Amino acid sequence: MALTGLLMVGFLLFHMYGNLKLFAGMEAYDTYAHHLRIFFEPILANRVFLWIVRVVMLAAVVLHIVSAIVVSRSAWSAAGAGRRYQSGKNKSGLQRTYASRTMRWGGVIIFVFVIAHLLQFTVSSLRTEAIMQTSPYARVVAAFEVWWVWLAYLIALTAVLFHLRHGIWSAFTTLGLHIGPVARRNLDALSWIVAGVLWVGFLAPVTWILIAQPPIPGASA
Amino acid sequence: MNVTLRVWRQKDAQSKGKMVDYKLQDIDDHMSFLEMLDVLNEQLTASGEEPVAFDSDCREGICGMCGVVINGVPHGRGQTTYQTTTCQLHMREFRDGDVIDVEPWRAKPFPVIKDLVVDRTSFDRIIEAGGFISAPTGTAPEAHSVPVPKADADRAFDAATCIGCGACVAACPNGSAMLFTAAKITHLGSLPQGQPERRSRALSMVAQHDAEGFGNCSNIGECSAACPKGIPLQFISRLNRDLWGALSTVDGKHLG
Amino acid sequence: MTTTTRESQRLTTPESLWLEGNDIHDTKAPLDAPIDKMWEQRKFSAKLVNPANRRKMSIIMVGTGLAGGAGAASLGEMGYNVLNFCYQDSPRRAHSIAAQGGINAAKNYRNDGDSTYRLFYDTVKGGDYRARETNAYRLAQVSANIIDQCVAQGVPFAREYGGLLDNRSFGGVQVSRTFYARGQTGQQLLIGAYQALERQVAAGTVKMYARHEMQDVIVADGRARGIVVRNMVTGAIETYYADVVILATGGYGNVFYLSTNAMGSNVTAAWRAHKRGAYFGNPCYTQIHPTCIPVAGDYQSKLTLMSESLRNDGRIWVPKRVEDCAKDPRQIPEEDRDYYLERIYPAFGNLVPRDIASRQAKYMCDEGRGVGPAIEETDRTTGETVVRRRGVYLDFTDVMQRLGRKAVEAKYGNLFDMYAQITGEDPYATPMRIYPAVHYTMGGLWVDYDLETSIPGLFCAGEANFSDQGANRLGASALMQGLADGYFVMPTTIPNYLAGAPFEPIDDSHPAAQEAIAAVKERTQKLLSIKGSRSVDSFHKELGHIMWEYCGMERTEPGLITAIGQIRDLKAEFWQNVNITGEGVGLNQTLERALRVVDFIELGELMCIDALQRRESCGGHFRAESRTEDGEALRHDDQFLYVSAWEAAGQDGKPILHREPLAYNNIELKTRSYK
């Protein structure tokens, strides 16, 4: 879980960096998107690197989910899947974080979102307008001018925020980096920072789109 | 003070249990929680009912035999919120009129024997799997032949204070015994005498931990918060480092 | 029950209570060798068992504490089949775990003049010259090996910054020879032994039976060959057989009901062996520890010890006037306080030995000058109800003014925290209250140099035997004795006995086995069938009150005679009126306790008879009739320089006293003086 999780966090950071180029306008963003396809060319053929990333990410997602199911099943088997203690007086635990309590449902929300997210931008590339077919920028702006798309995005990113607040700390702990109380403070801080940066970094450009409704050059609207 | 107890009663391992209410009057503030249960049992005996079965032995917080879940917290937590064993929790930590829920440890590898008594022999089997240093009697070199840096000795001691009560498992939402396992691995792995078996120990103890049916660790930290000896969570991370180390050195051995 | 047939009114002379038997001698110690060569000599003369034959032989070990756990592990390592029993749910819970202070060893790491001989000398002196020289010397000899063994196992002893082991001075001796692991030395040593034991369980040489309580020993054809146990989970009465049986079942301090022992600590195994023919040595020798947390109420189930080291800096006092006793101690001015130990013993002050400190605290409270909660007591002589405060102050005000609170915190922080947790009082703000409590029993089954009891093939180790300590015990020596017996003595002496084994196999069809099984079943059945009106605990508490009053810190002839009568009455009432709920099958903790209390009651009587017979004051045994002009303990070496080994003489019979004369060839007999 730790390794696949951290791999996905790395992907998200890069993804967010790319998204921030939305602020730089259509040309910058589309150039960036195009370069994703020709990464390491000519050593690798066109889109090969992209496909490597896609396969690795898919494998990470699958392994992460499989591990999550294994861990959950062992937990339900060991501690009981239903109500464990008759007493309802310590339901939220002695110290556990909201984030740690919502890992499983948060993970499910994120998974559903990722499917929808991929479908949305794959489907939108099937739209007939020429600009929609050639410009990723156009597709993004078109999508986030719709308020409920933005809202779904907000919910999903908040789920990511909490998932990573526990997930990053937990991943580094599993890898053995929790070496003392100071390390715990640092890892907790790192988790909040990375999760927070991703939340802000992803939401900033799309919120700008929702509010500013920037024109799409060349669109026939 | 007067309190109402809701106690888990279960005749034996096969029977279904349920919570039963008992009212207790004139409980002295200075009683320990278990002495309060003694008073309840004297009352039950007088009225011809079977007393509530619960484990306890030293009643000074060191043997690890006692432990019940009080208001959902393993060993219980009072108003002053110090971490302790049930036998060292006193009634002054509660208020007059309180309703107190008392239940046994809950985990599949800790089956209930009767009422509040559970079977924790799974812990013995984890130790059996490798929680020792192979030093047969009579083979020991002179005690001063290997100096141990004080920091290592202190860490070993901190880990060795584990009393094996099982509160970590009862508190862990995953029913994991990683804190218990990690405490032993840290204790022995911190000392020079424990180095030769360090990696094989981690592998075999974790394998036994899993085979007993304990859950996995997801670094939530409830174990350490419930631990009457305050075994720190970081020892689990240390166990993981030993496991990573074992991966690279023990060929073909199943990680468990 | 006030009829004239009460036992308490029929007894007259002490001598009518027992019979005289023959003298006995420990025949296994090679007395012709010089004391420092004796153990060497015994090891060489002991018979050996070929490694290939060892797996054909089996050993029953009852108990998993320092002696039992270490012994089972060591014998398992040698290749014997060991069956190991304990009443707890895990061998790691044996009460050795609660020892705080430390373990002595004659390593002389401090270069302060320690030696095997000095540890031997201190042990014999600490036992007030009632210990056997041979055993005490061996104990001192193997003490150094114990530390080596424990370090190799990973016991995290306290260390210095250079990485070497730290030592401290303990229990009033003049050298620093005590090894420790913070305040949890017993726990760490026991976990070491437990790990070694679990290693043998994994290796298949030791089979562990937790939650099994021994009920009787099976003596067949003159040898101990098995035990009858109660499976505490199913309630089944089971039998196990072996070539040798070892009892390492701890002390019997719980005969006093309140003690620092664990709730389950009991005498049943040793007592049942005694009834089958094993002599009981010096039952009246009890160590009472002065610095325990006082009783808070009649619901109290056990007492907690605080390290004696507190007396190094704390000053003990009570109010001079009875009317001040209920006051807040901070309101009592200096001139109204009686620092009684400093007043009576100006040379040693608060650091007088345990028995003296304990006895003086009792006197102060008996005078009515005790402090703390006023608790109703029944004066057992007059039968009247009196209100007494049972506690004295242990005050750190002086040292806090001298060194500051920080320094006191650093030194005693954990003890202060423990006190605060248990009493709910802040010891930094108000003086602590302390009172003596029963802590250790030096008496136990009589054993010879090989630790064999008077039943062939029945051995006894650790606190359960009487052998090494004498009439009192040096601080940090209990752990030493348990591990010495377990790691080093038994691995030599048990094979010597087994050299004649394996013996003829036996099973439940043997008449001795049938008789033992039937006796256990009958006793259990009878207890369950009484269905009287008094709880088991109420009997145990009453026994405790009798013992504490008459056979506690101060013993007198009339008191002991009264006690014996009251114990006999209590026993009679127990068998008519005890109320044991539940049934014989399944877990029944009331029945478990009842089976233990039955034996405590009988033991209590023997302790009183032993105390009555020994008309001298020695170590933990103080007879008010035997004291010097200024009230201190007076030994009578001319009359009582022997071990009292009591033989049981069957149902309702009188015990028979066998004397084992003590010879001091290497140490000169001296009188203690602390004035």
End-to-end CA distance of chain B: 51
Chains contacting C (3 or more CB pairs within 8 Å): B
SS (H, E, C) C270-319: HHHHHHCCCCEECCCCEEEEEEECCCCCCCCCCCCECCHHHHHCCEEEEE
Contact C421 B38 (CB under 8 A): no
* Å between A176 CA and nearest CA of chain B: 4
Query: Do B93 and B205 have their domain in common?
Result: no
Contact A78 B215 (CB under 8 A): yes
Q: Collect the ranges in chain B with pLDDT lower than 70.
A: 249-256
Let me know the angle formed at the C-alpha of C604 by C598 and C608, rounded to the nearest 5 degrees: 160
**DSSP code for C50:** -
Taking residue B103's Cβ as centre, other Cβ atoms within 10 Å add up to 24
C17 and C609 Cβ atoms separated by less than 8 Å? yes
Question: Rounded to an integer, what distance in angstroms lies between the CA atom of residue C388 and that of residue C376?
Answer: 6
Residue with tokens 């089971």: C238
- For residue B33, is it within any domain? yes
pTM comes to 0.95
Contact B173 A96 (CB under 8 A): yes
- For residue B62, is it within any domain? yes
B130 and B32 Cβ atoms separated by less than 8 Å? no
A87 touches B: beta carbon within 8 Å: yes
Contact B234 A179 (CB under 8 A): yes
C185 and C479 Cβ atoms separated by less than 8 Å? yes
Domain at B69, CATH number: 3.10.20.30
- For residue B115, is it within any domain? no
DSSP H helical segments within C424-483, as ranges? 478-483
Backbone Cα Rg of chain A: 20
Task: Flag whether pLDDT at C6 surpasses 60.
Answer: no
Residue with tokens 């094979």: C495
Contact B226 A75 (CB under 8 A): no
Domain at B203, CATH number: 1.10.1060.10
Let me know the angle formed at the C-alpha of C263 by C455 and C72, rounded to the nearest 5 degrees: 45
Q: Residue A139 is encoded by which pair of tokens?
A: 């597709």
B90 and B29 Cβ atoms separated by less than 8 Å? yes
DSSP H helical segments within A25-101, as ranges? 26-37, 48-79, 98-101
- Maximal CA-CA distance, chain A: 65
Q: Which of B60, B63, B84 sits opposite C304 (nearest CB)?
A: B60
Give the end of a domain, one of B73, B103, B133.
B103
C553 and C354 Cβ atoms separated by less than 8 Å? no
B139 touches C: beta carbon within 8 Å: yes
Mutate to test the interface with A, among B82, B110, B234 (most CBs of A within 10 A): B234
Q: Where are the domains of chain A?
A: 2-78+100-212
Three-state SS at B6:
strand
Determine B/A contact with 3+ CB pairs under 8 A as the test.
yes
Calculated CA dihedral for residues C300, C302, C308, C311, nearest 10 degrees: 0
Of C330, C332, C314, C328, the C-alpha closest to C419 is C314
Query: Do B200 and B242 have their domain in common?
Result: yes
* Å between A146 CA and nearest CA of chain B: 38
What pLDDT score was predicted for residue C1? 39
* Å between B87 CA and nearest CA of chain C: 10
Task: Flag whether pLDDT at C188 surpasses 90.
Answer: yes
Q: A72: Cβ–Cβ under 8 A, 6 or more apart, which residues?
A: A104
B128 phi and psi angles, rounded to 5 deg: -55, -35
Q: Residue C411 is encoded by which pair of tokens?
A: 């030194």
- For residue B53, is it within any domain? yes
Question: Rounded to an integer, what distance in angstroms lies between the CA atom of residue A208 and that of residue A23?
Answer: 8
What pLDDT score was predicted for residue B256? 41
- Does C354 participate in catalysis according to the annotation? yes
**DSSP code for C508:** T
B109 touches A: beta carbon within 8 Å: yes
Of B189, B173, B184, the C-alpha closest to B223 is B173
Query: Do B129 and B244 have their domain in common?
Result: yes
Q: Which of C150, C301, C587 sits opposite B114 (nearest CB)?
A: C587
Three-state SS at C446:
coil
Q: Residue C294 is encoded by which pair of tokens?
A: 């006082």
- Contacts of residue C263 in chain B, CB cutoff 8 Å? 56-59
Give the end of a domain, one of B103, B129, B161.
B103
C36 and C437 Cβ atoms separated by less than 8 Å? no
B84 touches A: beta carbon within 8 Å: no
A173 and A187 Cβ atoms separated by less than 8 Å? yes
In terms of CA atoms, which chain A residue is nearest residue B102?
A87
Is residue A33 exposed (0-12), middle (13-18) or buried (19+ Cβ within 10 Å)?
middle
pLDDT one digit per residue (tens) for chain A, 221 residues: 999 999 999 999 999 999 999 999 999 999 999 999 888 888 888 889 999 999 999 999 999 999 999 999 999 999 987 889 999 999 999 999 999 999 999 999 999 999 999 998 877 766 777 777 788 898 899 889 889 999 999 999 999 999 999 999 999 999 999 999 999 999 999 999 999 999 999 999 999 999 999 888 876 54
C352 and C359 Cβ atoms separated by less than 8 Å? no
Please confirm whether the linkage preceding C502 is cis (ω < 30° from 0).
Answer: yes
Contact B50 C582 (CB under 8 A): yes
Question: Rounded to an integer, what distance in angstroms lies between the CA atom of residue C669 and that of residue C641?
Answer: 10
**DSSP code for C239:** E
- For residue B30, is it within any domain? yes
Of B136, B155, B134, B132, the C-alpha closest to B205 is B132
Chain-centroid distance, C-alpha C674: 25
**Domain C289-439: top CATH class:** alpha beta
Q: What is the pLDDT of residues C435-483, one digit of tens each?
A: 999 999 999 999 999 999 999 999 999 999 998 999 999 889 999 999 9
Mutate to test the interface with A, among B18, B126, B216 (most CBs of A within 10 A): B216
What pLDDT score was predicted for residue A219? 65
CA distances from B67 to A200, B76, C87, C581 (A): 46, 9, 17, 23
| Overall residue count recorded for chain C in this entry | 675
C444 phi and psi angles, rounded to 5 deg: 165, -170
In terms of CA atoms, which chain B residue is nearest residue C487?
B137
Question: Rounded to an integer, what distance in angstroms lies between the CA atom of residue A138 and that of residue A214?
Answer: 10
In terms of CA atoms, which chain A residue is nearest residue B19?
A86
Question: Rounded to an integer, what distance in angstroms lies between the CA atom of residue B188 and that of residue C151?
Answer: 11
Report the pLDDT averaged over residues C218-240: 97
Q: Where are the domains of chain C?
A: 7-15+513-640, 289-439
Q: What is the pLDDT of residues C577-626, one digit of tens each?
A: 999 999 999 999 999 999 999 999 999 999 999 999 999 999 999 999 99
Of C603, C600, C604, C593, the C-alpha closest to C536 is C593
Question: Rounded to an integer, what distance in angstroms lies between the CA atom of residue A203 and that of residue A150?
Answer: 9
Amino acid code (one letter) for C641:
L
SS (H, E, C) C543-563: HHHHHHHHCCCCECHHHHHHH
Question: Rounded to an integer, what distance in angstroms lies between the CA atom of residue C462 and that of residue C449?
Answer: 13
Chain-centroid distance, C-alpha B254: 27
Q: How many CB pairs under 8 A join A and B?
A: 126
C670 and C125 Cβ atoms separated by less than 8 Å? yes
Please confirm whether the linkage preceding A42 is cis (ω < 30° from 0).
Answer: yes
Q: B180: Cβ–Cβ under 8 A, 6 or more apart, which residues?
A: B123, B126, B162, B164, B166, B168, B169
Contact A181 B234 (CB under 8 A): yes
Question: Rounded to an integer, what distance in angstroms lies between the CA atom of residue C431 and that of residue C494?
Answer: 51
Question: Rounded to an integer, what distance in angstroms lies between the CA atom of residue B64 and that of residue B167?
Answer: 9
Task: Flag whether pLDDT at C4 surpasses 70.
Answer: no
B5 touches A: beta carbon within 8 Å: no
Q: What is the pLDDT of residues B61-112, one digit of tens each?
A: 999 999 999 999 999 998 888 899 999 999 999 999 999 999 999 999 999 9
What pLDDT score was predicted for residue B235? 97
In terms of CA atoms, which chain B residue is nearest residue A85?
B72
- Contacts of residue B32 in chain C, CB cutoff 8 Å? 301
Strand pairing report for C103-104 and C178-179:
antiparallel
Query: Do B93 and B128 have their domain in common?
Result: no
Task: Flag whether pLDDT at C537 surpasses 50.
Answer: yes
State which residues form the domain around B162: 121-249
The CATH architecture to which C7-15+513-640 belongs is Up-down Bundle (1.20)
Q: Which of A75, A174, A178 sits opposite B234 (nearest CB)?
A: A178
Q: What is the pLDDT of residues C629-666, one digit of tens each?
A: 988 899 999 999 999 999 998 666 899 999 999 999 99
Q: Which candidate in C42, C354, C568, C593 is catalytic? A: C354
Contact B124 C98 (CB under 8 A): no
Contact C198 B141 (CB under 8 A): no
Q: C406: Cβ–Cβ under 8 A, 6 or more apart, which residues?
A: none
C642 and C624 Cβ atoms separated by less than 8 Å? no
B62 touches A: beta carbon within 8 Å: no
Query: Do B200 and B137 have their domain in common?
Result: yes
Domain tally, chain B? 2
Contact A86 B6 (CB under 8 A): yes
Mutate to test the interface with B, among C299, C414, C577 (most CBs of B within 10 A): C299
* Å between C662 CA and nearest CA of chain B: 31
Mutate to test the interface with C, among B105, B114, B132 (most CBs of C within 10 A): B132
Three-state SS at C19:
strand
**DSSP code for C37:** G
B222 touches A: beta carbon within 8 Å: yes
| Overall residue count recorded for chain B in this entry | 256
Question: Rounded to an integer, what distance in angstroms lies between the CA atom of residue C491 and that of residue C498?
Answer: 11
Q: What is the pLDDT of residues C515-532, one digit of tens each?
A: 999 999 999 999 999 999
Alpha-carbon dihedral sign for residues C33, C34, C35, C38 = negative
Consecutive H or E run containing C140: helix C133-153
C159 touches B: beta carbon within 8 Å: yes
Consecutive H or E run containing C135: helix C133-153
Q: Residue B139 is encoded by which pair of tokens?
A: 């083979």
ipTM of the complex, rounded to two decimals: 0.96
C603 and C268 Cβ atoms separated by less than 8 Å? no
- For residue B222, is it within any domain? yes
Of B153, B176, B178, B188, the C-alpha closest to B231 is B178
Of C590, C468, C486, C515, the C-alpha closest to C136 is C468
Of B44, B34, B91, B94, the C-alpha closest to B67 is B34
